[in-house]
Amino acid sequence: MEKKLKSWQGWLLFGGSMVVVFVLGLCVSALMERRAEVASIFNNRKNVIKGIEARNELFKDDFPREYQTWTETAKTDFESEFNGNIAVDALEKRPEMVVLWAGYAFSKDYSTPRGHMHAIEDITASLRTGAPVNPTDGPQPSTCWTCKSPDVPRMMEAIGVDSFYNNKWGAMGAEIVNPIGCSDCHDPETMNLHISRPALIEAFQRQGKDITKATPQEMRSLVCAQCHVEYYFKGDGKYLTFPWDKGFTVEDMEAYYDEAGFYDYIHKLSRTPILKAQHPDYEICQMGIHGQRGVSCADCHMPYKSEGGVKFSDHHIQSPLAMIDRTCQVCHRESEETLRNNVYERQRKANEIRNRLEQELAKAHIEAKFAWDNGATEAQMKDVLALIRQAQWRWDFGVASHGGSFHAPQEIQRILSHGLDRAMQARLIVSKVLAKNGYTGDVPMPDISTKAKAQEYIGLDMDAERAAKEKFLKTTVPAWLEKAKENGRLAQI
C-alpha cells in the first residue's frame, strides 16, 4: 500500500510539474507572440517618427486602436453624482468660491474639466487667460501651457526650458496647438513611456531619486504625475516647480511655501497672502489604499480592452465609474451598483465638510475686510491672516484634486476638517479684534447667493471680461491657428 501511495504521489508531482511547465510554456508563447506583434508594428511603421512629434494624427495608422480610443476623450456624455466629462460652471453652483478667490483669475471663470482633447480649446476660451492682443500682453505666463499639449516639450527643446517659461501666455499661441496626446507620455520613436516634462524629473532629483529607475508599473502613474500634481510658478521667470522637497502632505507643502515666503496672490478682501492649490491628484492618490497597494493611474483610468484578439490600454481616459466592469470589478466582486454607491458614500461625506468650510471661509474673508475697514491694525490681524491662509490652503488642496475624496477619503476628510477648524478660529479672533475697535454687533453680510452677485461684490466687471474674450476668440485665435497651419504645426490629414 505504501509503495502504491508513493507511486501515486510521484505521478501527481510529475503531473503537477508538467502542468506548471505547460502553463509557463503558454505564458512564454503569449509573451513571444506579443513581442513579435510589437516588433512587427515597429518594423512596418507607416510613419517613422524621429524626435518630438506633437501632431497626434501621425500616430493613427500605426496605433489605430489606441488612437481611436484617445479621440473619445472629446466626448461629453458622462456625468456622475459629483463630476464627469461635462463642463459644469462650478462658480454658478458654488458662488462662495468667487469670494474665496477674490483678486485671482479663478474668481472670473472655473468649470469642471473635460477630456484631454479639449485641453487647448478650454484654456484658450477660459476667462482666466485673458485676451492678449500681442506676445507681451495678457495676465498669464506661458507656463500655463505646460500641461496642455505635446507641443510644449517640442518648444522646450527648441528654445530652452527657462525661455519657454519666461514668456507671456499669448507668445506661444501659434505654437501650442495640438491637445494632450501621444508624445506627452510616449517616446515617439520607441513608444516606451517617458517623462516629457522637466518639473517631475527635477522634483525627484531634489529628493535624491532617479526617475529613470522607475518600474513599468510606476511609470503608468508617473506619466500622469507630470501634470496631475500640485505645482507653482517659481521666481520672476515663472519656473514650474513641484513643492515636494519636504514631502507630499498638505502640511509638508505648506511648510515648504512658508519657508520660501511664497503666495499666489493677496486676497482682495481679507488681504491674506493666499496659496492656490492646483490639482494634487498624484500626491493624494499615494496616500490612499489603492496607491499604497501599487495600483497605477492607468489601471483604473486606462483599463485594458480587447478587440479582435488584441489586448491594449484604452486611451479614453475618464472616470472609472464610466466603465466599472473593466475597472473596479477586475479586482472587486461586488455589483456595479454597490461599487458605485461605495464611491458616492465617500464623496458625500467629504462634501458635507467641504460645504461647511466654504461657507465659513467666505465669511472669514468678508469679516476680515470689515475689520480692516473699521480700523484694525496689522498686528491685530496677523493671526487672523495666518489662520485664513491655512484654512484656504486646506480647502483648496482638498477640493482641487480630481477624485481626491475617493483616492484617499480619510486624508481628504482630515484636511477639510482641519481647514474648517482654522476658519472658525479666524472668525473668532476677528470678532475680538472688532470688539477692541469698538464694534460688537454682527458683521453685515453681502448677498453672494449667485455667481453674478458674488462677482459684482468683489468688484469684477464681467461684461468687459466677456467682451474682451469674445473679440480675442474671433480675431487672435484664428490668426494663431492659421500661422500654425502655415508652419506645419497641425497635421493636414
- According to the annotation, is 148 in a ligand binding site? yes
Please indicate if the annotation marks 285 as binding a ligand.
no
User: Was 331 annotated as part of a binding site?
Assistant: yes
Q: Determine whether the annotation assigns residue 27 to a binding site.
A: no
Helix (H) or strand (E) holding 273: strand 273-274
Residues facing residue 265 across a β-bridge? 274
301 is in an annotated binding site: yes
276 is in an annotated binding site: yes
**Does 234 appear as a known binding residue?**
no
Q: Is 341 helix (H, G, I), strand (E, B) or coil?
A: helix
Question: Binding site annotation covers 328?
Answer: yes
3-state secondary structure (DSSP) of residue 304: strand
Mutual angle of helices 378-400 and 336-373, in 10-degree steps: 160
| 363 annotated to bind ligand | no
Dihedral angle computed from the Cα positions of residues 337, 343, 349 and 352, in that order, rounded to the nearest 10 degrees: -90
Tell me whether residue 230 is annotated as binding: yes
Burial label, 329 (beta-carbon count in 10 A; 0-12, 13-18, 19+): middle
Does 194 appear as a known binding residue?
no
Residue 224 assigned to a binding site: yes
Q: Tell me if 316 is assigned to a ligand binding site.
A: no
What sections of 261-373 are H helices per DSSP? 281-287, 289-292, 297-301, 328-331, 336-373
Using the 8-state DSSP alphabet, how is residue 133 labeled? S
DSSP 8-state assignment for residue 313: E
Q: Which residues contact 367 (CB under 8 A, 6 or more apart)?
A: 427, 430, 431, 434, 443
Reported as type and span, the H/E element at residue 121 is helix 119-125
Cβ-in-10-Å burial (0-12, 13-18, 19+) of 435 comes to exposed
How many whole angstroms separate alpha carbon 61 and alpha carbon 47?
Answer: 8
CA distance 94 to 447: 13
Q: 279: annotated binding-site residue?
A: yes
Q: Which three cell numbers stand for residue 141?
A: 505666463
Q: Is 228 annotated as a binding residue?
A: yes
Q: Which of 234, 283, 303, 267 is nearest to 391 (CA)?
A: 267
Gap between the Cα atoms of 417 and 197, Å rounded: 34
- Residue whose cell numbers read 496672490: 265
147 is in an annotated binding site: yes
Amino acid letter, residue 179: P
Q: Which DSSP string do the residues of 17-86 spell out, in sequence order?
A: HHHHHHHHHHHHHHHHHHHHHHHHHHHT-SS---S----GGGGTTTSHHHHHHHHGGG----B-SS-BSS
Binding positions for substrate are 231, 279
Binding positions for heme c are 116, 144, 147-148, 182, 185-186, 224, 227-228, 290, 297, 300-301, 315, 328, 331-332, 407
Binding positions for Ca(2+) are 230-231, 276, 278
Binding positions are 116, 144, 147-148, 182, 185-186, 224, 227-228, 230-231, 276, 278-279, 290, 297, 300-301, 315, 328, 331-332, 407
